[in-house]
């Protein structure tokens, strides 16, 4: 049942007959219910749906990062939508009758801030990782107080772990401890950096895969 809020000219929510009222990104919208298609789905459409499903499943694990730090909102196109579009076009590859994520093409953040210099990652005992980099504060808008973002993804269990504040640019090293249940697993790692006020962000960098010890 549909509801009208604040009188006849107010917001409408719910379904009445063949129309439905929704609030989408702050806009009140009334639209017709979708009709079931009788057309046969093509192979190309099925492949596109598979690509979309794989990308969405991966990006949802990182929504707090991608949704806030991937480019900028453009009209009704959100950062998450922009990230979805990019990864469907650039970061999946066909494998048999399905698709896989190309981790070296993944971008978890996108922006104009200068990233950290010479980043790398090494495995430590007890499923920990050490991220290292060179302090390049003073280049462009880079500052010592910029916050480190790291993402670690384990593809077998489809587990993503991340930190939005692992340290500051001037520290040059930071340790990230992962759950012991994934000891021995191969994980993929990304690093990025964001300004202290979260208004500027770098484009993330893929650091490759590493085996946890």
Whether 211 shows a pLDDT value over 80: the answer reads: yes
Contacts of residue 141, defined as CB under 8 A and 6 or more positions apart, other chains included, come to 113, 114, 195, 200
- Listed in sequence order, the residues at least 6 apart from 211 whose beta carbon sits closer than 8 Å to its beta carbon are 123, 184, 185, 186, 187
Q: pLDDT tens digits, residue range 97-147? A: 889 999 999 999 999 999 999 999 999 999 999 999 999 999 999 999 999
The per-residue DSSP string of 4-56 comes to: E-SSTTS-EEEEETTEEEEEETTEEEEEEPPPPP-SPPPHHHHHHHHHHHHHH
Q: Please count the residues of the chain.
A: 213
Q: What angle do CA 179, 181, 182 make, to 5 degrees?
A: 80
Instruction: Give tens-digit pLDDT for 11-58.
Output: 656 666 666 666 665 666 666 666 665 677 787 788 889 999 999 999
pLDDT tens across 144-178, in order?
999 999 999 999 999 999 999 999 999 999 999 99
pLDDT of residue 186: 98
What is the model's pLDDT at position 26?
61
- Residue 208 pLDDT class (50, 70, 90 cuts): very high
Q: pTM for the whole thing? A: 0.82
Tally Cβ neighbours within 10 Å of residue 194.
22
Q: Residues 46-89: pLDDT tens digits?
A: 888 999 999 999 999 999 999 999 999 887 789 999 999 999 99
What is the DSSP pairing of strand 12-16 with strand 3-4? antiparallel
Report the half-sphere exposure of 40 (CA within 13 A, side-chain side): 2
Q: What is the pLDDT of residue 76?
A: 78
């Amino acid at each position: 049942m549909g509801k009208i809020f604040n009188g006849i000219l107010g917001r409408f929510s719910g379904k009445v007959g063949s129309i439905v009222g929704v609030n989408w990104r702050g806009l009140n919208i009334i639209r017709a219910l979708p009709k079931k298609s009788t057309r046969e789905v093509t192979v190309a459409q099925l492949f596109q749906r598979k690509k979309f499903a794989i990308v969405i499943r991966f990006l949802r694990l990182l929504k707090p990062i991608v949704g806030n730090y991937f480019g900028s909102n453009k009209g009704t196109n959100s950062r998450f939508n922009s990230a979805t579009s990019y990864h469907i076009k650039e970061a999946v590859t066909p494998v048999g009758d399905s698709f896989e994520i190309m981790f070296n093409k993944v971008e978890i953040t996108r922006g104009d801030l200068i990233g950290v210099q010479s980043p790398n990652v090494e495995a430590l005992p007890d499923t920990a990782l050490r991220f290292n980099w060179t302090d390049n504060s003073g280049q462009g808008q880079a500052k010592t107080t910029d916050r480190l973002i790291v993402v670690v993804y384990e593809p077998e269990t489809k587990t993503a772990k991340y930190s939005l504040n692992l340290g500051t640019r001037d520290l040059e090293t930071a340790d990230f401890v992962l759950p012991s249940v994934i000891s021995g697993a191969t994980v993929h790692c990304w690093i990025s950096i964001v300004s202290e006020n979260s208004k500027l962000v770098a484009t993330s960098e893929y650091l490759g895969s590493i085996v946890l010890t």
